[in-house]
Chain A
Amino acid sequence: MARNMQGETGRRSRAARGLLHRARHSRSVLVIGFALMAAAAAAAVLVARGGAAQTPSSIAAGVLSQVQTSFGDDLVAAASVQASTLNASVASTDGPSLIRAVFEARLLAHTVAETMASSGQQPITSVQYVDKDGVALSSYSAGGDSVGPDPAVSSLTAQTCSSAGQSMAADPQSSVQVESARMLPFMGGTCVFTFQTSDPATFAKAAPGAIAGLVTAMGDPNNRPYLVEVDDQAGTPQFVTSWVPGDYGDTWIKPGLSRAFIP
């Protein structure tokens, strides 16, 4: 028993150090990311003012760069527009990272559509998720997902995401701690949360109420994109869910945990 307790303490210390490092790293990435996004946005404005027509593919490439910078990953590796469909090549084809990859792809598609519309072009109307070989992912609609206009919502502040994350952590039923709560500048503001729990089973059972509190705290329920990842203390995902307006929910739950969140 004592050995186990020492082991737990050691793991927590390492985890805490890891979290601190990650937090610092995240802040650095965030600062650099926003700088790059600002530069990309300025470049886009210059191109527009200069009268150079942006092709759908160049818009997709520009937004893809924003997505990759914002998330700090390459889960969406490439994007191209064919007719009214955006093809998003994702780097993961299963498991929790697939939820994250498709979430990024959906935000990409919505932002491409909005950018096309704002520049007077006919926006894309669907998004297809494909693997590195261009094959449609087998766990998503064979016909792709529709992409409609973004809902009208007020701009989100970074503080809102942070406060919402803290409110979920404060709910004793949720059994989670906030690892990170980031606001990303897509669709009027997107919250991306990572929580940590020592009791994934309790969280999975409490998820409907816990995430409802989170959604309420963000405001504009069902009209605000979010991604929630709940990891165990080793940092392994146990529960990942995403929501993107346009009415798509996507959830991965580790086998053996409650599926109360799933109708």
Chain B
Amino acid sequence: MARPSRRFIYALVLLVVGVGSFASAARAQTFSDAQAYRYRKTVDADIGTRSYIAGTGGISSGEVVASIQMSPPNSSDTYGGIQIGELSNTNDFSGNCGSGVTVVFTEWTTDGSHYTCGRTSGIHAFGNGGLFAVVNTSGSLWSTYWNSNLYKSGPSGLNFTHATPFINAEVYQNDQTQPKPTYSVTWGPSGYTAWQHMDSSADGYVTIDYSLGEDLCLTKCYNLGGTPSPTTISWAG
């Protein structure tokens, strides 16, 4: 399978590799994780992506994440990326976006070392977050939107003007003595906005074509179902 663009996705791959290493070392008895991506195979020519996200993600110890993101062109040798989605974690898990919360969040990195999370409370059920979008607003500025409202203006340092859309799904379980997590989330469910992209012609959003899609299922793979849109990602633990 062809590799996706390298910067942000590589950072995320490192996350999985690192977590996987941990799973076999210090906390092998009490840890599991899974992460999967589906992305539109392009030449990093898009200036936006959006999708309605619906479904459920339940966990007793750890964190579940469902998001869309834009990652940068292959040509760059630095990391960077911006995502928006929703996450739910438990009190025994703390991350860059808080602890014991179910929220919409935006996160970006300009260098693969420094990650900034901005979030807002008010979403009380994972999977019911609505319509998410990441859009280039001018130059290398990207912003995220939730239900068509500006959620966060991204940083000026992303340094890419076009990128590749990604779907991102994650489960991170702290304590395997707890009930196994459940996860079944659909990007672009029937009757709602599909997973779409907008290319640099800015002629509007187009539903992503399966022939231009790629899957990247890294650890304890999820079931990636359907065409790119709707895409249902599920994991029974």
Residues of A within 8 A of B (CB): 94-95, 98-99, 136-143, 145, 173, 202, 204-209, 211-216, 221-222, 241, 243, 247-263
Contact = CB atoms under 8 A, between A and B. Distances in A.
B237 interface: no
Interface string B214-228: 000000000000000
B192 interface: no
A208 B231 CA distance: 29
B155 A248 contact: no
Given A140-B116, A251-B115, A212 B18 contact: no
A249 B155 contact: no
Interface of B: 11-12, 14-15, 18-19, 21-22, 25-27, 33, 62-63, 65, 67, 87, 91-101, 103, 105, 107, 110-121, 141, 152-157, 170, 172, 174
A213 to B, nearest CB: 8
Given A139-B110, A202-B26, A222-B100, A262 B116 contact: no
Which of A204, A221, A259 has the most B CB atoms < 10 Å from its CB?
A259
Which of B87, B94, B155, B156 has the most A CB atoms < 10 Å from its CB?
B94
Contacts of A250: 96, 114-117
Contact of B93 (A94, A204, A208, A243): A208
B112 A222 contact: no
Contacts of A99: 114
B91 A221 contact: yes
A138 B21 contact: no
B15 to A, nearest CB: 4
Q: Which 4 A-B pairs have the closest CB atoms?
A: A138-B157, A258-B18, A205-B22, A143-B153
A191 B30 CA distance: 29
Contact of A263 (B95, B100, B113, B141): B95
Contact of B94 (A94, A140, A215, A258): A215
A221 B19 CA distance: 24
B172 A138 contact: no
Contact of A212 (B27, B92, B115): B92
Contacts of B118: 141, 145, 247-248
Contact of B22 (A215, A252, A255, A260): A260
Contact of A136 (B99, B152, B156): B156
A207 B11 CA distance: 17
Nearest to A248: B118
Nearest to B11: A259
B86 to A, nearest CB: 10
Which of B67, B87, B119 has the most A CB atoms < 10 Å from its CB?
B119
14 contacts: A99-B114, A137-B155, A208-B95, A208-B174, A212-B94, A247-B118, A249-B116, A249-B119, A255-B112, A259-B115, A260-B33, A261-B94, A261-B96, A263-B67
Contact of B172 (A95, A136, A140, A260): A260
